[in-house]
Amino acid sequence: MLQAHQMAPDFEFFNEKRETVWLHDYRGQKVVLYFYPKDNTPGCTRQACAFAAAYSRFQQQGILVIGISKDSVRSHQNFAAKYELPFLLVSDPQLSIIQAYDVWQKKKLYGKESMGVVRTTYLIDEEGKIEKVFEKVKPETNAQEILDYLNS
């Protein structure tokens, strides 16, 4: 897992206008990167909806919210439309961003081990450094946990 005070790995993605941008293009503002396993699953849906409900509070503080999973762009489009998600969803089917942030790990479910995305959130500061790492986050409370941290 990456640690606080490290430079956040830079990556290229499409913004809401389908323009190619880099994470470093958002220097000067905080960025929440939340990594989640799969669109339209119960936990991931609860987490996305919690971020959507809190989105205006992130915007008021000038914070960009980005959700990242290995789902396809099409899956993200459908997921965002279905739940009216106002923030960016980044598709990483090649796992390049997911692996750069060290969230592709061995997971155990019902006694069976497999590789997958470990639900983790990174708060990136205005200089592009990791300010805080939220590990093993709970889908329902992740967004509020970040807001509480920011307001403490």
Domains delineated in the chain: 30-150 (3.40.30.10)
Residue owning tokens 């998600």: 85
pLDDT at 69: 96
pLDDT of residue 147: 98
pLDDT in tens, 55-81: 999 999 999 999 999 999 999 999 999
Query: Binning pLDDT at 50, 70 and 90, where does residue 120 land?
Result: very high
- Do 32 and 129 contact (CB within 8 A), yes or no? no
Instruction: State residue 122's pLDDT score.
Output: 98
Q: How confident is the model at residue 111 (pLDDT cuts 50, 70, 90)?
A: confident
Percent of the chain topping pLDDT 70: 100
CB burial class (10 A; 0-12, 13-18, 19+) of residue 61? Answer: exposed
Mean of pLDDT over the chain: 95
CB of 139 within 8 A of CB of 47?
yes
Per-residue DSSP letter, 133: E
Q: What is the pLDDT of residues 7-30, one digit of tens each?
A: 999 999 987 777 889 999 999 999
Q: pLDDT confidence of 31, banded at 50, 70, 90? A: very high
Residues annotated as part of the active site: 44
- Angle of helix 73-83 relative to helix 42-60, nearest 10 degrees, comes to 70
